Each structure stands twice: as structure tokens, then as C-alpha cells.
Structure 1
Amino acid sequence: MTRKRILIVEDIPALALMYAGHLEKAGYEAVVVDTGAAVLRALAQGEAFSALLLDLQLPDIDGLELLRTNVDLLAKQPVIVVTADGSLSRAIDAMRLGAYDFLVKPLAAKRLISVVASAVETGPTILTSAPALAADPRLPAANPGGFVGSSSAMREVYRQIGCIARSRATVLITGESGTGKEVCADSIHRESGRSGGAFIAINCGAIPENLLESELFGHVKGSFTGAVNDRIGAVQAAHKGTLFLDEVCEMALPLQVKLLRFLQTGTVQRVGTSRVDEVDVRIVCATNRDPLREVAEGRFREDLYYRLAVVPVHMPPLRERGSDIAELAQTFLQRFAREEGKHFAPLGQAQLAALMAYRWPGNVRELQNVLRRAAVLWDGPDLPLAALPAERGAVQPLPVTAALASETSSGSNASHPDLAAALRGMTLDEIERLVIARAIADADGSLPAAARMLGVSASTLYRKRERWAASGEAA
């Protein structure tokens, strides 16, 4: 079998020979050049390479400039850039131009071989630069993943997903709660060359701090109370796939250090053992906070932020998506009507006007919940305005929540006839969902504020939301 050829671009002979030696032991054929001009000559002569290892500090040209001015470098083979630790921002710039990954000197042999093997398997990367983002004809025309909506704001998100999916670059998705950050992450995974691997999602805000390390990196039997068996963590479970870290800014500082080490080395160490395992994982993160503010106020490590935010994606709030509100509402109403065995006519002008006038502090998740409650509590075929948000302020109470509010304000312990009628036929879980959803709406979509209103911890609401989301009934 013909060996894969790797072009090494390094002007320090000792380093070039070391890289070549590591790669040749792993079964590759290494070709070494020491200038940018030599790279261009090799490509002009039609030489083919499975990957290119590019040092950013070359004697005749800056490595970044070489990538900017020679698109063929990225189109013909995956490019892995090599940089010194003090030039991390330059490596991130290279990945935004389309480089597959970056390595920081000094290079560990196992890390070098692992990244090269992954790059060779993946092939050339679609460019992630802004010009390509605006006009790349290769981008998918259809909405990716589970998205609904064709507003200009969402078309931009779809273009970004199409551009960055095949890159190995880490992605940081920002946006308010309920805007669809996990749907975005899942779409990136589905559009990528890793779609055959697992998509593993971890909510960093829903898992107690003392258990999150084990959830991420695994543990061995007896490493702590309750560790009755060896267990791999989410990182290893996502090998050859994608790991999604939701609410990453909730992660405690000590664990941020361990996450940073994993990103630098590509290795994990389970709790309770000194054994180190290599993994090949694409990292996608999300937060509803302002990450730069978290960095400025000392709650999030700056070096970790720059490692994670190689490619930033912002999910627009629902209030900025225009006609998407109507399209989403129609889609949700018909979906939930089918689940309830009911029939609803298409939403009329009055209903659509009410939906468009509301600001949706809970975004798509709130809209989804409103339509689910409406499908449960009304029989159709027409949906009354009472089932929809008021034009200004909080959501107009539905029968159950209105009755609950009435009884609470009266201070009476007696049976309330309206409440009894509203609750008839509902399960305790359904009532709990309604109460929590109302609290979240009253708290403008903030789960911590809603938790304070209800007298429970925020992690309790996160866990309940995850459980409902898994069954398609997220609050």
C-alpha cells in the first residue's frame, strides 16, 4: 500500500528531522522543505500530499500570509499549523482561514501523529474565512439539522454551519437561553465528516462541580465514594465524534485548567489513575453569558476562551427573526396537535399578530412551550387568543396557571373550583412543567431567577429541563 505523503514546512533542520522521524515511524512518507517558496514550487509541479505541516515562522514569508494569498494550499490538502506558545492568537487566525488544526511547540510525538492521522482521514477543509462565508456556492441550500426559519439572521447561521462543519476548529456558540444553541451544535456535527461518530452533550451548569470532572474524563473503580465501576467520560465517549459543552462558562476554574490541558494535549486522564489515553474529538461549546465579560471579571480563563472561541457563532434571539416566529409557531402547533390526537386550523392573522408583537424573552423554547400548552389545553380547531402571549409584558395566564395564581394570592387553602377544573385529567408532571414554565417566563427566561422564585436550586431546573428536552417537552 502506498504511504501517505506529508509535507513538512520547517526552517530549523533539527525540528524538521524530528517531525519527519516521528511520522515515518507511524507509516507516513515525510517530505521536508524550509521556505514558503519551496511549498509553492512543489504544488506548482503537481506534487500531491495528504497533509501539510506548516510552521508559521518562515524565513521568506509569514505563514499566515502564505495561507491568505494561496487558497490552493487549503483546498488541496488539510493544513496543520505549528506555532510557539506565545503566538497562540496567530494559530487561531490560521484556523479561521481554514487550517485544520494547530500544534504548539514543543510537539509531542503522539499528539503530532494523532492530529496528522485525523487530518488525513478528514481531507481538505472548507474555508472558514469571512469572504468564503459570504459567497461559497458549496454551502447547503436547505436548513441544516432541526432548524425552522428562513430569516436573513438564520440564513447567516446556516452559512456558518456549512462553512465550519468540516473543520476541526473548536466552536463557541453564544446566544440567549432558548435560541437553539444545542440544535446548532448538533447541526455542525451532522454536516461534518464526524457525523458517523457520537454527538455527546454535557450541560456544565447542571452537574455538581465535584462530579463534572468524572462526567467529562471518567474515573476508575474506588477513586471516590460511589465509584463502584470503571467508567469512561464524555470525552472518550465522543472519540471520532463531537463533544458539546453547554453552559461552559459555568465550569469552575480548577476544571477549566484540566479542560485546557486536554485541548493542548489531546489526551485524557481518568479520575483515580495515572494512565493517559489519546482521543480525537471535535469540541463545540455554548454559553448564554458574555464570555469576554466572564474573562474580564476573572470567572473564565482567558487562555481557555481563546482555545474555545476559534470560530464564534452567535444565535440570534427570536425577536430578531421576523417571519420565523410565524413559521415556527405553525410548525410547533401542528406537531403537538398530532401528538395530542387533535386538529388545529392554521393560525389566523389575529393570532400571528399577537405572536409577532410579543418579545419572547425565552426565545424559541418559550414559543415551543406556549404552543405545546395550547395543544394540551385547547381542543381546536381554532386557537383562541387567550392561549397566546399578551402584546406587552408577561405571557397571558393559561387556565391552570391563572387558577394557581388566584389561589396563591388569596392565601386560601380551600379547594378552588377553577383550579380543580383546570387540573382535572392532568398528571403531576404536566402541572410541574406548567408552573416551572410560568416562573421562567416571569423571570424573563432566566433559570437562576426562576429557581429563586420557586425555592429550588438552578441545577434542579436544568436537570428537569434536560429530562423534558430528551422527551421533546422542554420547559
Structure 2
Amino acid sequence: MTPKVLLVEDSSSLAVLYKQYLKNEPFDLLHAATGGEAKRILERTIPSLIILDLQLPDMQGDEILEWLEEKNISIPVVVVTAHGSVDTAVKLIQKGAKDFLEKPIRADRLKTSIQIHLKQAELETMLDDIQQKMDRERFHDFIGASIPMQGVYKIIDAVSDTNASVFIIGESGTGKEVCANAIHNESNRKDKAFVAINCGAIPKDLMESEVFGHVKGAFTGAATDRKGAASLADGGTLFLDELCEMDLEMQKKLLRFLQTGTFTPLGATKEHKVDVRIICATNRDPLLEVQEGRFREDLYYRVHVVPIHMPPLRERDRDIVTLAEHFLRIYSKQDGRKFETIAKEAQRYLKRYTWPGNVRQLQNIIRNIVVLNDEKSLGVSHLPPEVMASTATKPSASHAPNSRLSVVQQTSPAPSPIVEAAPEMASTSMSMESAVSNTPPNAELSNAQGVTIRPMWQIERETIQQAIDYCDGNVLNAAVLLELSPSTVYRKKQAWEAEDSAS
């Protein structure tokens, strides 16, 4: 299919000139003389690229950028302005522009810009198609196509048709029970029962009865025989959530059950045998629990056959917005609200937040926003204070090079929406020794007032990565924000990635 390029230019003479420049190019050129005409064209056809003049007779060109974002239409835009500057470029890039051209435009510059962005759009489409074929965005009740989740899906595929015990480890709210359900539903036991017990929610005096059942008169209040979870799950799957919360005496009885497949209900004398697949989960570090004497070592090795580590939400990058949009659609439909999209700036804050409560916390926040508001787009103003106060994730200390040079940096509760430029480390001529000797005498005092001393390499890397994230991965745009050479940013980024892969 021949790509289409929409030219939005009110000057008929310039439009004729640009058409002359592009008459032999391998794409169809559409022309709109006003912003209103451009919108009408965009409502019936989606071009591959837009060349947009900022000064239009009926509106400013940047209103078209805002309209595209509101409509959730993703098209690369090259802005044409007679007042080009770095400040203008930054503002336009923040609103979604990919590039800007300064009048008067040379033919070769116009052709090159269009060719680059059409090729980039083509490659992105191809990569998206390949990625969609390779990755699963939905898997049972999971939603997410991030690399960590693809790893979880593959382990579930591999382990489902076996009888091996699975130990799911992950923070609260990461979806451990969803994982257990997926294993059950992928297995040949899917037509039998899936029984879940939260070991942390049941008093230890009742745990044995909950798992193994009891007979009438076994204890005060036992008026009838009652089947336990082990009997109810016969032929199916028994999921023991928060296993590390279980009492040590009960752990001993559970171990025997796992080894023999037999148990004796509380108060009974006859053993029962069942065929049960065991899946366990915990939000603690099980080895630490063993070391501290709260979890039996023999039970640990019995259940820790196939471990599955559920990634925290902060490590699932693009899944954060995907999940937020999913919850937004569900709750908007349930409550009759108008919400349809999440604004780009709000998405950036969602992706920067560390999500200590993981998917459950994200779900609750979106639920709260939908209940208290009724607009078409979820914006920054709807986000709670804890999300607004988020900062980008810092690089791990294990990636630090050998350097003692550091600076004093004041911690701030909320990041500025404009990324500040980072100085180039190569331009520093001051030695490490002189930097230390020239430290202000009040540095220690300031430390007590909430100032942290951090290595310069961390600040440089963090600032550059913030800029790249802010520009949705566009290194060229990030370089403009940082007032650095694109080659410098590429070189540093490649060096860090090589260092990460080697560590």
C-alpha cells in the first residue's frame, strides 16, 4: 500500500512549492489549507506522516497535536515553523512532534525528513507485528506483554502438564493466585476443582481442620463431619497461599501429606488418600524464613521444585499503562462514566511510580479515579499525591564504575516536568582529590537536613535515561532536551547497556 503524507499549509504558494519538491516521491501527498480541513481528512483516513505548519488561519498548529492526543491517534508529525529555536523544539516534542523544520525549507531537507519518518513508521509497524506474533498480551487472567511476563507464561506452559510442585514467589499484589489458576487451567486437571487456602488468614488452631477436615465431635462446635481442602481438591489442584505463615507443627503434617498423598482428618482414625497437585505461594523470602527458623527446610525443598518469580509491577514497563487502560475501560463501563483514554503525561507518571502495592494498588487507584470523576481522558490532575511524587527508578549500585567523585544533590518529592540538562562528564577536569578537598565545610550539616551525596555517574545516567523515557525512547529528541550531541547520548547508552549485559 502506498503511504500517504498529509501536508497542512495555508499558503497556497508554499503548498505548490512543496508539491513540486515532492512530485516524484513514492507516496501520495494530501493537502489541507486549514486546521479544520486537516481534522476532517484525519477523521476519514490515517496518513503515515503529517507535515504541519504552526501558523494556520483558524487555529495554531499545536492544537492539531493536542487533538491527535485526545483522539488517541498515533501519527508522526513534522512541524514547520518560521520561528525555530531549541525552546520551540522542546515544547513541540513534548506535545508529540517527531521533528521540526524551519522556514524556508530546502527541498533536500524536506525529502530527507519525510523519508526518515516514513521508514521509521514502517519499521515500527513491522516490529509491532512481529512482537504481537511472538508475545502474548493476554494469558488466562493475566494482562501484559512485557518481557518478564513472557518468561512467566513460558514457565506456566512448561510446568502445567506435569505433577511437579510449584512455588510462586512474589510481592503482595503481583498475581500469585492468578498464576496458580493459570497453571491449573492449562493442566489436564482443569475439569477438576481448584481449591485455594490463604494460610495467613486462618488461625493456627483451625488450619488442620481447614486443610484435612474433621469428623463430628473432633472439637467443640464440630457438629458434623466436614471435608477439608485436600479432599475437596481430589483430582484437581490445592493452592496454599502465604505458605510461610503456616505454623511449624502444621508444616510437619503438611510435609507428610505431600510425601505420601495421605492424611487423617482431625478426630478420625482412618487415613484418606487423594490425588492432588500442590501449588504454594509466598510474599516472603523463603530461604530467609528457613534461616530464621520459621519455615521447615525439608518442607522448603519438597515444595520448591519449580519456582516462579512473579515480577513486581515496576519491572513490567509497558504493562503498567496497558493494565491501567484495561481497568479504566472496565470500571467506566460498570459505573457509566465517560473515560476512554489516559493522557500521555499521566502515563509517564504511572510508569515512573514504583507501585509498592503492585497490580492491586493500580487497580484500586483507577477504581477510585473513575468513582470520583467523569471525564473522557484521565489526566495528571486525577492522579493521587503518591503517584505525582514519584521519581524515575535509580540504576542499581551494582552497575557503578570505580569512582569516588560525587556531588551533593537535594532530594525532591516530585520531578519537574521539564528534564534538566546533565553536564558531560568528559568535560570535567577537576581531579577526584581536589573535588573531595574542595567540599564545602557545611556539607555534613546539609546532610542532616535531607541532602544526599551521590556519585556523578549515577546522576548523569539517571538524567539521560529520564530524558529518553520522557521522549518515549527517542534518543534524538532526548539529546535536544539535554542540549547534548545525539552521538554522545548514543555512546553513553550503548556503554551502559554493554555493562549491564556483562554484569
Q: TM-score range by the shorter chain?
A: 0.5 to 0.7
Does residue 244 of structure 1 match 2:246? Answer: no
Does residue 370 of structure 1 match 2:365? Answer: yes
CA distance in 2, matches of 1:247, 1:140: 30
State the partner residue of 1:169: 164
User: What is the Cα deviation at residue 345 of structure 1?
Assistant: 2.1
* Residue of structure 2 aligned with 1:293, choices 288, 310, 328: 288
Does residue 309 of structure 1 match 2:318? Answer: no
Does residue 338 of structure 1 match 2:333? Answer: yes
Give the aligned residue type for 2:358. Answer: N
- C-alpha distance after superposition, 1:400-422 (max 9, x if no partner): xxxxxxxxxxxxxxxxxxxxxxx
User: What is the Cα deviation at residue 231 of structure 1?
Assistant: 0.4
* Residue of structure 1 aligned with 2:389, choices 375, 379, 392: 392
- C-alpha distance after superposition, 1:233-271 (max 9, x if no partner): 001100110010000000000000000010111012100
State the partner residue of 2:152: 157
- Matched pairs, number: 256
State the partner residue of 1:278: 273
Give the aligned residue type for 1:275. Answer: K
State the partner residue of 1:263: 258
CA distance in 1, matches of 2:172, 2:296: 22
State the partner residue of 2:355: 360
- C-alpha distance after superposition, 1:322-364 (max 9, x if no partner): 0000000000110111111222121110110110111100000
Give the aligned residue type for 1:268. Answer: F
Tell whether the 8 Å contact from 2:343 to 2:379 is kept in structure 1 after alignment.
Answer: no
State the partner residue of 1:147: 142
- C-alpha distance after superposition, 1:403-442 (max 9, x if no partner): xxxxxxxxxxxxxxxxxxxxxxxxxxxxxxxxxxxxxxxx
Q: Determine helix, strand or coil for the equivalent of 1:178.
A: coil
Give the aligned residue type for 1:352. Answer: Q
Tell whether the 8 Å contact from 1:140 to 1:162 is kept in structure 2 after alignment.
Answer: no
Q: Taking every aligned residue pair, what percent have the same amino acid on both sides? A: 55
CA distance in 1, matches of 2:214, 2:145: 45
Q: CA RMSD in A?
A: 1.6
Give the aligned residue type for 2:388. Answer: E
User: What is the Cα deviation at residue 143 of structure 1?
Assistant: 3.3
Q: Determine helix, strand or coil for the equivalent of 2:235.
A: coil
Structure 1 segment 120-139 matched on structure 2, within 5 A: none
Flag the 1:386–1:212 CA change in 2: closer, same or farther, 3 A. Answer: farther
Tell whether the 8 Å contact from 2:328 to 2:340 is kept in structure 1 after alignment.
Answer: no
- C-alpha distance after superposition, 1:185-223 (max 9, x if no partner): 000000000000111110000011101110000001111
Q: Determine helix, strand or coil for the equivalent of 1:274.
A: coil
State the partner residue of 1:178: 173
CA distance in 1, matches of 2:298, 2:252: 10
CA distance in 1, matches of 2:292, 2:260: 27
State the partner residue of 1:190: 185
* Residue of structure 2 aligned with 1:228, choices 215, 223, 226: 223
- C-alpha distance after superposition, 1:371-408 (max 9, x if no partner): 111111111222242332433359xxxxxxxxxxxxxx
State the partner residue of 1:383: 378
Give the aligned residue type for 1:259. Answer: L
Q: TM-score when scaled to structure 1?
A: 0.53
User: What is the Cα deviation at residue 142 of structure 1?
Assistant: 6.4
Tell whether the 8 Å contact from 1:291 to 1:305 is kept in structure 2 after alignment.
Answer: yes
State the partner residue of 2:208: 213
Structure 1: stretches of 5+ with no match in the other structure: 1-138, 395-475
Give the aligned residue type for 2:345. Answer: A
Q: Determine helix, strand or coil for the equivalent of 2:191.
A: coil
CA distance in 1, matches of 2:156, 2:198: 21
* Residue of structure 1 aligned with 2:194, choices 192, 199, 213: 199
User: What is the Cα deviation at residue 280 of structure 1?
Assistant: 0.4
Give the aligned residue type for 1:145. Answer: H
CA distance in 1, matches of 2:353, 2:337: 26
User: What is the Cα deviation at residue 275 of structure 1?
Assistant: 1.0
- C-alpha distance after superposition, 1:108-132 (max 9, x if no partner): xxxxxxxxxxxxxxxxxxxxxxxxx
CA distance in 2, matches of 1:294, 1:318: 24
User: What is the Cα deviation at residue 140 of structure 1?
Assistant: 9.4
State the partner residue of 2:410: none
Tell whether the 8 Å contact from 2:345 to 2:379 is kept in structure 1 after alignment.
Answer: no
Q: TM-score when scaled to structure 2?
A: 0.50
- In our comparison, the structure showing a higher alpha carbon Rg is 2
Structure 2: stretches of 5+ with no match in the other structure: 1-133, 392-503
CA distance in 2, matches of 1:249, 1:186: 20
CA distance in 2, matches of 1:275, 1:374: 55
Does residue 253 of structure 1 match 2:248? Answer: yes
Tell whether the 8 Å contact from 1:357 to 1:392 is kept in structure 2 after alignment.
Answer: no
